[in-house]
Structure 1
Amino acid sequence: MDEIEVVVAHSERATLRVGDVFLKVDTDQARIDAEVEAMALVPVPTPEVLWRKPPVLALAALPGATLGRLGGPSTGSPAAWAAAGAAIRTLHDAPLPPRLGRAGRSTAALAAELDEECAALVAHGILPADLVARNRQVAEAAFRPWTPAFTHGDLQIEHVFVDGDEVTGIIDWSEAGRGDPLYDLATFTLGHEEHLDDVIAGYGTGIDVDLEVIHAWWSMRSLLVVRWLSEHGFDPFLPGCEVDVLRSRM
């Protein structure tokens, strides 16, 4: 019998791997519904849905491996990173979905959330005030008009699988919907700035890729998740992770 591998687990959801099957257990049925709906719409490869029995979604494993992980060494050739950029562009060029995604939050709502989180990080002594203030300043560049695209909404490096120089699939679509395309590019390259040029080369022209905005999203995403990660059994202070991303903006 195959062993059970715990891929990720916290109080809201868990993902287990049993052989070639991933079992996603989620307390929020709406997230599962959103994930299945998005995978049916996107023009990029996704895992096969094997079955659904709330609160569990069973997905087939994808061939290949990810290009690395946050806080770890990156793998894959420049061509593989460019292929990931091309796949992201294919997604962003797709017809807009009906749902508003995580990357589509209004500027006012996002700014209010960011200011609240920055205050909490300082008040609880989680991060130094100067580090928070500097990255809050950098994050300001993300607050600008943008043209909505079909976005993944949580495009971490661990969510894109490649085999050689070919993208074999993208996973975890529960945050997908209309949003800022540069949020996806920033999330995918978070902590792996050295591959940003490769990703942009594959992504191509036609959508304005403003590096200042990508840097802004790096700062904002890191500020928004540090406290949550610390409270849910993850360590954003590990080398190469979110706190190092924030320090790099100093």
Structure 2
Amino acid sequence: MDEVEVVVAHSERATLRVGDVFLKVDADQARVDVEVEAMSLAPVPTPEVLWRKPPVLAIAAVPGTTLGRLGGPVTGSPSAWAAAGAAIRKLHDAPLPPRLGRAGRSVVALTAELDAECELLVTNGLLPADLVTRNRRIAEAALRPWAPAFTHGDLQIAHVFLDGDEVTGIIDWSEAGRGDALYDLATFTLGHEEHRDDLIAGYGADVDLDVILAWWSLRSLLVVRWLIEHGFDAFAPGCEVDVLRSRM
């Protein structure tokens, strides 16, 4: 019998792997609805849905390997990063999905969320005030009007699989929907600034680098407290707190 591997587990959801099958257990069925719908609409390789019986979604593993993970070593040639960029561009150019995604929050809502989170980070003693203030200032550039695109919404490098220079699958679509394309590019390159230019070369469009820098700060500020409260280490080398410190 194959071993059961716990891929990720916290109070909101858990993902288990048994052989070539991933079992995603999610208490929020709306998130699963978004994931299944997005995978059916996305013009890029996605996992095959094997079956669904709430609260469990079973999907097939995709071939290939990832370019790495946040806080860990990265692999892949410049052409592999460019191939990932080309796949992301294909997604962003696709017809818009019906739902707003994680990257589609309004500027007003996002500003309010960011300001509240910054205050909590300081008052709870999680991060020093000067670090939060500096990054809040940088994040301002992301708080602007944007043209909607088909976005993944959680496009970490661990969610994109490649075989050589070919993208073989993109996973974890529960945050997908209409949103800011630069949010995806920023998420993919978070903590791996040295590969940003290769990704953008493959993406093949003019990109406002100041906005990507802003999203690095904004995204990190928003997730530090959540990560800590759910048992993840935002202070690990190369992870979110290091990203914030690098802006100083």
Q: TM-score range by the shorter chain?
A: over 0.9
Query: 1:184 maps to what in 2?
Result: 184
**Partner residue, 1:136:** 136
Aligned residue runs from structure 1 range 27-106, under 5 A: 27-106=27-106
Within 5 Å, which residues of 2 pair with 1:1-250?
1-205=1-205, 208-250=206-248
Deviation string 1:199-245 (CA, Å, 9 cap, x unpaired) is 0000002xx41000000000000000000000101000000000000
In structure 1, list runs of 5 or more residues that go unmatched: none
Letter in 2 for 1:203: Y
- Deviation above 3 Å: which 4+ runs of structure 1? none
Q: CA RMSD in A?
A: 0.5
CA distance in 1, matches of 2:191, 2:74: 10
| Whole-Å separation in 1 of the counterparts to 2:223 and 2:187 | 12
Give the AA of the match of 2:21.
Answer: V
How far apart, in 1, do the equivalents of 2:186 and 2:70 lie? 13
Structure 1 length-normalised TM: 0.98
- What do the CA deviations read for 1:63-82 (whole angstroms, capped 9, x no partner)? 01110000001111111110
For 2:232 and 2:215, locate their aligned partners in 1 and report how far apart those are by CA, in whole Å. 21
AA aligned opposite 1:129: A
| CA distance in 1 between partners of 2:150 and 2:69 (Å) | 24
**What is the TM-score normalised by the length of structure 2?**
0.99
Unaligned runs of 5+ in 2: none
Structure 1 residue 145 displacement after superposition: 1.5
Q: After superposition, give the CA deviation of every residue in 1:109-153 in whole Å (9 maximum; x if it has no partner).
A: 000000000000000100000000000000000011111000001
**SS of equivalent residue, structure 2 residue 15:** strand
| Secondary structure of residue in 2 paired with 1:150 | strand
Matched to 1:141, the amino acid is: A
Q: Distance in 1 between matches of 2:30 and 2:130?
A: 38
